[in-house]
Amino acid sequence: MVTMTSAPFEYMRPKTVAEASRLLSKYGGGAKLLAGGHSLVPLMKLRLASPQALIDLSGVGELKGINSSASGLSIGAMTTYHELESSVEVQRAAPLLADAASQVADAQVRNFGTIGGAVSHSDPSADLPAVVLALDAVMKTATQRAGRDIPVERFFKDFLTTALRQNEVLTRIEVPKLPANTGTSYIKQSNKASHYAVVGVAAVITLGADGVCERARVAITGAGPYAVRAKRTERMLVGKKLAPNVIRNAAKRAGAEISGSFNEDVHASAGYREAMTQVFAERAITAAVANAR
Amino acid sequence: MPTTITVTVNGTTRTNEVDERLLLVQYLREVQNLTGTHIGCDTSNCGACTVHLNGKAVKSCTVFAVQADGGTVKTVEGLASNGVMHPMQAAFKEKHGLQCGFCTPGMIMTSIELLERNPNPSEAEIRRGIRGNLCRCTGYHNIVEAVKFAAAGTGGKK
């Protein structure tokens, strides 16, 4: 006798984004898109999610592949972590993304988990939301009728909540080419069992010829209900030479945008996450500055 | 509402009716009677259920059997040929890379993919490569020795 852990569901495997969107509309919120499934399936086994229908995107060719151009990378939503970490194009154009992908979970999970699934799920402890925020990515979506481009800054809305509409499919993640003299880093405190980020910080720092910071992107995951940019910190970096004390002072404000809503769970208290946000922001910014030189 | 799936497991193609929510590991153990693949934590942490799906290592407790429809699966039972163990199985035997043996099928399936991708891993790369597989006996020392032994045996080739 086999114990069925999930609630019953209907299963379908469309071939196109339009068909996937049509199915989402048909079930009116009762269906879930299945990408790699490495967040959704565990939730279904715990019956924290019980969708009426699963729409498996593994057969949709237009969601696959990494394209490199002069303006940057276009990454299909169904690209796996393993494909990201092992892609020469990603390693060259967005080493931050390749490095962060290599830090996700373990080899088996990276074989199946996808970038599109990760960002659409908006798990507060996932690595890639912070990375795509720091890279100023554009999220391309489609429905049966139309597509739109969502700037990543408007994509993550809340705990497990994004700007995606009910019948909308995330199709590609576009990562703009980085300016010259830009250094990047993603550093996290990793949960020992799952390797989810207790706190993770992505930093993208551009230096001018005189060593003055021209542009800064710092994004935090794990600490609050969803990944956010640390704009207060960014403002304290731009226009300055990034001596260690400048970085430290800026990093002290890295939790400003999360203030009052730090996560508290079995892994870490809110106060601990707040403290680690500052520590890991300092480390990530310092490493990014070192790479930029 | 059962769904008909066709899956090639260890070279043999079979068609079965399955419940959509049947997990791949349950399909392998209960439908195909291949009980070499173990269920450990059942929460995608421990890696005991690792098999190769379409050539890639996966925790089969985190995939529904319907997702494998049209695909190929390799389990620990499919490694030996004509009674000769796969080099990774032989290495685990030679280096005693097991204590109770419960994690062993998953460890072997993960380690085979590790060497396919990196034929000459350092000890750190081996430890990192198998971090999705837990040994409750904490017998990691000999497991790592076994993977090193297998890598040496292949002469750095796949």
User: For B150-154, what is the mean pLDDT?
Assistant: 87
Mean pLDDT (chain A, rounded): 97
Q: Is the pLDDT of residue B89 over 90?
A: yes
- Where does CATH 3.30.390.50 sit in chain A? 182-292
Average pLDDT in the A6-13 region?
98
**B111 and B73 share a domain?**
no
| Token pair recorded at residue A217 | 């992107």
- In the predicted model, is pLDDT for residue A230 greater than 70? yes
Q: What is the residue type of A220?
A: I
Domain membership of residue B47 (yes or no) is yes
CA A27 to chain centre: 27
> What number of C-beta contacts closer than 8 Å exist between A and B?
83
Residue B77: per-residue pLDDT: 98
Phi and psi at A167, nearest 5°, equal -110, 20
**Ranges of CATH 3.30.465.10 domains, chain A:** 61-176
Instruction: Say yes or no: B96 and B147 in one domain.
Output: yes
For A92-106, write each residue's pLDDT tens digit: 999 999 999 999 999
Contact A37, A78 (CB under 8 A): no
Please indicate, yes or no, whether residues B100 and B39 belong to a single structural domain of this protein: no
pLDDT digits (tens, 9 = 90+) for A181-192: 999 999 999 998
DSSP 8-class letter at B29? I
Which fold is adopted by the domain A61-176? 3.30.465
Of B62, B67, B129, Cβ closest to residue A58: B67
A33: tokens are: 């898109």
Predicted confidence at residue A62, as pLDDT, reads 96
User: Using the beta-carbon criterion (under 8 Å), do B20 and A45 form an inter-chain contact?
Assistant: no
Burial of residue A1 (CB within 10 Å: 0-12, 13-18, 19+) is: exposed
What is the pLDDT at residue A193? 82
pLDDT value of residue B158 = 45
Tell whether the model's pLDDT for residue B1 goes beyond 90: no
Range of the domain at B63: 3-78
Give chain B positions within 8 Å (CB) of A49. none
Strand order in the sheet with B72-74: B12-18, B3-9, B72-74, B50-53, B56-59
Of B55, B78, B101, the residue at which a domain comes to its end is B78
Residues in chain A within 8 Å Cβ distance of B114 = 107
| pLDDT for position B156 | 44
Q: Do B52 and B91 lie in a common domain?
A: no
B132 and B95 part of one domain: yes
Cα distance from A77 to chain B (closest Cα, Å)? 18
Going by pLDDT thresholds of 50, 70 and 90, the confidence category of residue B154 is low
HSE-up of residue A188 (Cα within 13 Å, Cβ side): 32
Residue B158 lies in a domain: no
Least CA distance to A8: which residue of chain B? B21
B113 and B68 both lie in a single domain: no
Question: Residue A107 in contact with residue B129, Cβ under 8 Å?
Answer: yes
Question: Is the Cβ–Cβ distance between A214 and A143 less than 8 Å?
Answer: no
Whether A194 shows a pLDDT value over 90: the answer reads no
Residues B104, B64 within the same domain: no
Decide if A2 and B131 are in contact by the 8 Å CB cutoff.
no
Q: Answer yes or no: are the C-beta atoms of B65 and B41 closer than 8 Å.
A: no
In a domain, B113, yes or no: yes
Q: What is the CATH number of the domain that holds B91?
A: 1.10.150.120
> Would you say A89 and A73 are in contact if contact means Cβ atoms under 8 Å apart?
yes
Domain boundary among B78, B107, B138: B78
Position A192 scores a pLDDT of 84
Structure tokens at A221: 């995951």
For the A10-59 domain, the top CATH level (class) is: alpha beta
Residues of A within 8 A of B67 (CB-CB) are 34, 37, 56, 58
Q: Is residue B67 part of a domain?
A: yes
Question: How long is chain B?
Answer: 158
ipTM beyond cut 0.90: yes
Query: Which of the residues B17, B29, B58 would you substitute to probe the A interface, choosing the one with the greatest number of A C-beta atoms within 10 Å?
Result: B58
Pick the CATH number of A182-292 from 3.30.70.100, 2.60.15.10, 3.10.20.740, 3.30.390.50: 3.30.390.50
- The total of structural domains in chain B comes to 2
Nearest chain B CA: its distance from A220 CA (Å):
25
Q: Are residues B91 and B134 in the same domain?
A: yes
d(CA A87, CA B1): 40
Rounded Cα–Cα distance for residues A242 and A54 (Å): 49
| Whether pLDDT at B157 is above 50 | no
C-beta of residue A48 within 8 angstroms of C-beta of residue A92: no
pLDDT in tens, A103-140: 999 999 999 999 999 999 999 999 999 999 999 999 99
Instruction: Please name the residues in contact with B83: beta carbons below 8 A apart, sequence gap of 6 or more.
Output: none
Strand-pair category, A53-56 with A10-12: parallel
**Alpha-carbon distance A88 to A188, whole Å?**
23
Q: For residues A228 and A118, give the distance between their C-alpha atoms in angstroms, rounded to a whole number.
A: 15
**Domain final residue pick, B78, B101, B127:** B78
User: Residues B129-140: what's their mean pLDDT?
Assistant: 97
Q: Is the pLDDT of residue B155 over 60?
A: no
pLDDT at res. A2: 86
In a mutational test of the A interface, the residue from B28, B62, B135 whose CB has the highest number of chain A CBs within 10 Å is B62
What DSSP line would sit under A244-264, residue for residue? HHHHHHHHTTTTTTTTT----
Measured between beta carbons, which residues in chain B are less than 8 angstroms from residue A56? 66-67
Mean pLDDT score of chain B, rounded to an integer? 96
Asked if the model's pLDDT at residue A141 lies above 50, the reply is yes
Instruction: Give the mean pLDDT of A2-6.
Output: 92
Cβ contacts (< 8 Å) between A54 and chain B: which residues? 20, 64
Higher per-residue confidence, B37 vs A193: B37
Q: What is the mean pLDDT of residues B104-126?
A: 98
- Domain presence at residue B134: yes
- A57 compared with A293, residue with greater pLDDT: A57
Residue B30, domain CATH: 3.10.20.30
- The neighbour count for residue A293, using CB atoms within 10 Å, is 10
pLDDT in tens, A209-219: 899 999 999 99
CB-nearest to A108 from B3, B64, B110 is: B110
